[in-house]
Amino acid sequence: MKRINHLLALAALLGCASLHAQEREELLPFGDMNQWIKREIKESSIIGGAQKEIYAVGPTQTIKGEIPYKPTGGSPWATSNVMAKVVGIVKTNSSVFPERRDGGYCARLDTHLEGVKVFGVVDITVLAAGSLFLGEVHEPIKSTKNPNGLLLMGVPFTKHPKALRFDYKVRIADREKRIRATGFGRETDVDGKDHAAVVCLLQKRWEDKEGNVYASRVGTFAIQYDKSCDWQNAATYTILYGDITHNPAYRADLMKLNAYEYNTVNSRGKSVPIKEVSWAAPDEAPTHIILQFASSHGGAYIGTPGNSLWVDNVKLVY
């Protein structure tokens, strides 16, 4: 009997090893966060003329001057680090940074207030959350109006990963309410404590003859972090497929159709909203993947200064 039990235990162990061997990880391009592009931009003299450095995830290089940025060198990543040119004044915002970790780098995303004041010309303070996502940003930023229209979310993608895996660390600011600062009027409080957030959506998109872009939701993952924590390595989250509204893991506030205001560029080169109109069949092939990490969850210009999210080693699991 003892010999049989040992054989059963061995068989179970071999079975687990076999299942583990079948799992395959795929690091997203530049997902180890070890390579960064440094952009050197001189702000306008009327606001001090400081030489600023802002960063993008991509092949190591330095880009000098007021050059609008697009993901380069095979990198699919964009960030909330942007160059703005409002009424001729060049200003930068930096809320995503490379930070040393384990002999390489990770990405640190911060929420902060960013201001530009020129007496008699412009006086703007906005709440800027750190955002790292697959897609690109329309630069230069010329207005604080319709910020979501400037963030083009998602890249072409046709696979069916079973999970998203990454390392993360969180710092949640000790403030019970969030701040809303749009650049117009005074800062106001918004009910609810700020959270860091991660969203991954697989979509099947199409465009009508008027240039509107629609999507069926193929796969879904979303989470918010409401507590500070030290590094959590290889955190693995299942991607749910098809209509998940009856799945016990479903959270309508995070996972419903159109829970997020995402834009893309249509065939005419115009930024338009992505309108999710249905849940796709679980085996439907997606056309795009959206993946976003953010240090605040409330949308444009809402958050709490002091919130931070660190991200490293972003992978898809098959």
User: What average pLDDT score do residues 163-190 get?
Assistant: 93
pLDDT at 114: 84
Within-domain flag for 13:
no
CA 129 distance to own-chain centroid: 11
User: What average pLDDT score do residues 18-47 get?
Assistant: 90
pLDDT at 8: 47
What does the pLDDT look like over 277-315, one tens digit per residue? 999 999 999 999 999 999 999 888 999 999 999 999 999
pLDDT at 120: 57
Residue 301 token pair = 């210009």
Write the single-letter amino acid at 137: V
Within-domain flag for 11:
no
What does the pLDDT look like over 165-175, one tens digit per residue? 999 999 999 99
The torsion angle over the Cα atoms of residues 27, 139, 168 and 238, rounded to 10 degrees, is -60
Q: How far is CA 90 from CA 49, 63, 122, 202, 258, in A?
A: 9, 16, 12, 36, 34
Q: Of 258, 166, 251, 165, nearest to 203 (Cα)?
A: 258
User: What average pLDDT score do residues 127-147 get?
Assistant: 86
pLDDT at 18: 47
Is the pLDDT at 24 greater than 50? The verdict is yes
User: What average pLDDT score do residues 207-236 get?
Assistant: 98
User: What average pLDDT score do residues 219-225 get?
Assistant: 98
CATH number of residue 127's parent domain = 2.60.120
Is the pLDDT at 45 greater than 80? The verdict is yes
User: What average pLDDT score do residues 179-200 get?
Assistant: 92
Q: How many CA atoms lie within 13 A of 136 on its CB side?
A: 17
The length of the chain in residues reads 318
Count of domains in the chain? Answer: 1
CA 106 distance to own-chain centroid: 14
Within-domain flag for 229:
yes
pLDDT at 21: 59
Q: How far apart are CA 134 and CA 226, in angstroms?
A: 23
Q: How far apart are CA 220 and CA 215, in angstroms?
A: 13
pLDDT at 6: 52
**Confidence bin at 85 (pLDDT 50/70/90):** confident
pLDDT at 2: 46
Within-domain flag for 192:
yes
**Confidence bin at 182 (pLDDT 50/70/90):** confident
**Confidence bin at 19 (pLDDT 50/70/90):** very low
pLDDT at 14: 46
Is the pLDDT at 20 greater than 70? The verdict is no
pLDDT at 169: 98
Q: Of 130, 166, 143, nearest to 54 (Cα)?
A: 130
Average pLDDT, the chain: 91
Within-domain flag for 18:
no
pLDDT at 117: 67
What does the pLDDT look like over 244-288, one tens digit per residue? 999 999 999 999 999 999 999 999 999 999 999 999 999 999 999
What does the pLDDT look like over 56-84, one tens digit per residue? 999 999 999 999 999 999 999 999 999 98
Lowest mean pLDDT among 6-10, 36-40, 114-118: 6-10
Is the pLDDT at 178 greater than 50? The verdict is yes
139 compared with 178, residue with greater pLDDT: 178
86 compared with 224, residue with greater pLDDT: 224
Looking at the DSSP bridge assignments, the partners of residue 203 are 217, 288
Structural domain including 113 reads 25-317
